[in-house]
A and B are shown apart, each in its own frame.
Chain A
Amino acid sequence: MTASRTPPTGRGLATAVTAAALAGWFWASVGASHPSEMFARIRKMDRNGIFLPNWRFFAPYPARFDYGLIYRVEQADGAVSPWRFVMEPIHRTWAHTVWFPARRRSKALFDIVAELLVVARRLAEQGDLNSEVLEAYPAFKVLRDFSAGAVRDRHRDESPAGFQFAIIEHTGYDEIEQEEPTYLMVSSFIPFDDEAGEHRVNGSKVTVGAR
């Protein structure tokens, strides 16, 4: 069989300009890949966040600990429940290779907790860390409202007086090293106002549970 050649490849100005732009994008991605935050000048140029990919998965310091969002409930009679996960751990199955909608939620929780801890650390370094400042931070409010939603769902019949949530660091499946988790942040007690179906925080009311 005689092979026939394809038509000319069609190089032209548009191709050259596009190739140059893509090459520039590639080198910008290289420049944005430095593992140290101190060398993030190019990465910060991408204000959107999607254009310069972060290819440093689990590097250089892998996540060897879990963050857990936990809560406990105080009943009207003053009894306090044990701590419980707001979002129970999801154990892997083969089905997760194609279908795992909760993954985005667990990653979002991880990201928000990580952000709040970074903020707390920065405030501590500046000597400005106190509960008032931290509780006013939106990431804190997201976690508070998320926890409140879980409490309402699970304790609907009990009319709890309020709840408290905490961020812990723990070793997950490691039952040998598993000790008491490290409490990284514990909220103050957050009272519920049952009649209005709302909870009250810092004197203001925040609606929850409107799904």
Chain B
Amino acid sequence: MGFLAEAMRHLPASRPSREQTLLNTERLGAVAHLMSSIEYLIEPWYELPRQATSWASLQAMQYRFRSPVTRKIFGLAADRRVITGLHAARAGASLALLAPTGRKTRLAANAFLAATDALLYPHESYGTDGSDQASFLAQTGAAVARALPNRPALTDAALWYLAAQSTLSYTIAGWAKLLGPDWRNGEALPGVLRTYTYGDRQAYQLARRFPRASRLVGASVLALECFFPAAYLGKGRLAPVFVGSAAAFHVANARLMGLHRFLPAFLALHPSLLYTAGAREAVTRSGETERRDDLFPMIMAAGGAAAVAGAVRTYQRRRRMVVRGRTGEKQFTTTTGNVLTFRRSGSEDETTPLVVIEGGLAVTIEQNAWLEQHLGSRYGVLSYQRAGYGSSKYRRYGEYTLDVALRDLTDLVADQAGNRPVVLLGHSLGGYLSWLAVPRLRARLGDRLKGIALLDSTHPDELNRSPAQFAGALFHDRHFDEVSMWMRCGLGFLTDRPGFVDKLPEEVRELVAAQYADPGLWTAARREWKAVRAYFGRPEARLKEIDVPAVVLTAERTARIDAVQIELHDEMARSATWAHRHIVAGTGHDSIVVEREPSARAAELVAAFIDEAMTGTGHDVDTTPKAATEETSPLTATITAATSTDRLPVRTV
């Protein structure tokens, strides 16, 4: 380190003048614009750009912009002749910036290029790339810098802004790459180079022939990008090294990857970086000492601090909301040490069954609020948050296994059921957990466990038998890791409010939105998913028969997407004492619980099952065993209405 510091001291600490910096920025940006517009005008084969532009324009006019004024403004460029005319004018403006023109002309040219960039971008969105955004920033910054005469502080603010964007561009590109396994293991560079779109035959062959050198080049690119902010260390003495390396990087990209417009576009942001990283005071060629104004970095730092403070506050407010939960919640500490939050609703009549709702993965009980309402009108309902979800607390030390979840469930049900008959209702993963809990609950409740209702349930063999489920599992492996990490970093405020939230009952919407952006849900989901993945690989995960009846519902969309699910659910139905089996029309895996109508349809079928299970006489509809697939697999067997009586008995014993 001492050597590095010593070496840095020997590097010259100088910087270009303000005016030269601004001129270089404008001219390099103008070169990028000139290349872009001339290529547009000369490109002989218009078929694809023209039709793509029409489609992009249509999207912009119909979907992107809501305000009629905005639509009108952008509608001006929704004509090919206008676009062609604008490109010709842009070429002229670029030439004006390359020529030694005065401030007003340069201001007008910069502003015109920036404004038409914004105007044309939605229409030409197919085929645009980062160079269009970089050159837009360069010209916008230059226009701001030239906006008022004799305002060097304003020019400096604009140059600082461009330098900040330049630094950000490399830094983001570097750190985002590190999240990708191909970049970490060195496969990314040869992988990109082998493509026709962004590669080069010879470079690819070299990368394959010299894999170590290829990995070294890849690692060097990553290092350059990730540590680009270090250009500001040592009073900017390293800035020329970083900028020079980045320029060489862009030359290589232009030749090997065909990213030729990136070269002038990103180089246009480099002068500002050299200017702001260098000494604050410098002697210009005319002998004047020029002092840079550093208001922008101060405001930027203050803004960053305010943004972080705002994010922390939002995080805390959301956390408080999640921990507070819904009114009417109670808590119960199980033998595992976990503190579960639960909610009782519906009938308190001791003779009516208590339906225990077991939610899916990454689902809180509020997402099952429709089911609570539909079933609560006829039965008692017990819904609870598994440990770590919502306001419940995961207190257990050591490895989490599904056994913990099952102990929590059986402890809670045994405590809350009193003398009432009990029916388990599980959605998705909750279905399989309910299935696993049956023997334990039979041991605790005896005959009072009347049955089990499965809503688009997980099956323990689904990852082996369904390619779609296996692909989904690979996605989840990564997804839960990443999302829980980002949520713990407090980035929940960057998530969109998910669409399903506003389909839930109004009283739970805000809470569910808060839970979705809170780390608790994702950390619990990640923990459970890892346990599920580990458990599914074991022999004991095999589906075992249960000695209670079941109603097995498959969401229609699930059945349509993945026919294997029908077989798996048929198998579950056959493994119960007797079963009702339905494919529920107009439902999807999530909508069967989070949407009013689909959940009502499911609840109606569950209620029909419960009523029959409560008679204790078993199923008397059809005593002839039938092949499940004959009855249930074709979609023609779909139940089409909540009131349908076309129940499909799978097996009777």
Contact = CB atoms under 8 A, between A and B. Distances in A.
A102 B45 CA distance: 9
A59 B148 CA distance: 39
B198 A63 contact: yes
A100 B482 CA distance: 38
* Listed residue (B48, B176, B183) with the most chain A CB atoms within 10 angstroms of its CB: B48
Nearest to A38: B495
Contacts of B160: 19, 22
Contact of A100 (B39, B151, B153, B199): B39
Contact residues on A (Cβ < 8 Å of other chain), bracket:
35 or more
B130 A53 contact: yes
Nearest to B144: A18
Minimum-distance CB pairs A-B, first 9 = A60-B180, A64-B191, A108-B127, A127-B560, A59-B176, A89-B196, A60-B179, A101-B39, A39-B494
Contacts of B144: 18, 22
Interface in B49-86: 49, 51-52, 55, 58, 64-66
Contacts of B176: 33, 35, 55-56, 59-60
A194 interface: no
5 contacts: A15-B293, A23-B161, A36-B483, A173-B204, A174-B194
Given A38-B483, A145-B51, A5 B288 contact: yes
A189 to B, nearest CB: 21
A142 interface: yes
A5 B295 contact: no
Contacts of B194: 64, 171-174
A48 B458 CA distance: 42
* Listed residue (A61, A104, A106) with the most chain B CB atoms within 10 angstroms of its CB: A104
A23 B133 contact: no
Interface stretch (B167-175, B437-445, B537-545): B167-175
A196 B485 CA distance: 60
Interface string B182-209: 1100011001111111111100110010
Contact of A48 (B118, B256, B307): B118
Interface residues of B, number: 114
A92 B491 CA distance: 41
Interface string A115-140: 00000000011110000000000110
A180 B203 CA distance: 23
User: Interface residues of B: mostly helix, strand, loop or mixed?
Assistant: helix
A203 B588 CA distance: 33
Interface string A96-116: 111111111111111110000
A42 to B, nearest CB: 6
Contacts of A171: 194-195
A135 B136 CA distance: 35
Nearest to B120: A50
Given A26-B300, A59-B179, 6 more contacts: A23-B300, A48-B121, A49-B125, A141-B55, A142-B51, A150-B47
Interface string A31-74: 10111101111101001111101111111111111111000000
A4 interface: yes
Nearest to A26: B164
B283 interface: yes
Contacts of B121: 48-50
Contacts of B263: 97
Interface in B280-328: 283, 287-291, 293, 295-296, 299-300, 302-304, 307
Contacts of A11: 153, 293, 295
Given A41-B496, A89-B196, A62 B168 contact: no
A159 B156 CA distance: 64
Interface of A: 1, 3-7, 9-12, 14-16, 18-20, 22-27, 29-31, 33-36, 38-42, 44, 47-51, 53-68, 87, 89-92, 94, 96-112, 124-127, 138-139, 141-142, 145-146, 149-150, 171-174, 176, 211
B154 interface: yes
Contacts of B52: 108, 111-112, 142
Contacts of B98: none
B260 A100 contact: yes
Nearest to B152: A9
Contacts of A66: 195-197
Nearest to B304: A27
A149 B46 CA distance: 10
B80 to A, nearest CB: 12
A49 B56 CA distance: 12
Given A7-B150, A31-B494, A173-B196, A55 B130 contact: yes
Interface in B22-55: 35, 39-40, 42-43, 45-49, 51-52, 55
Given A19-B157, A23-B303, A63-B198, A112 B289 contact: no
Contacts of B195: 63-66, 171-173
Contacts of A20: 299, 303
Contacts of B491: 34, 39
Given A50-B136, A105-B127, A173-B196, A9 B153 contact: yes
B557 A126 contact: yes
A90 to B, nearest CB: 8
A36 B486 contact: yes
A97 B251 contact: yes
Interface string B113-154: 000011001100111111011101100000010011011111
B270 to A, nearest CB: 15
A108 B205 CA distance: 27
Nearest to B256: A92
A163 to B, nearest CB: 15
A53 B260 contact: no
B2 to A, nearest CB: 34
B291 A5 contact: yes
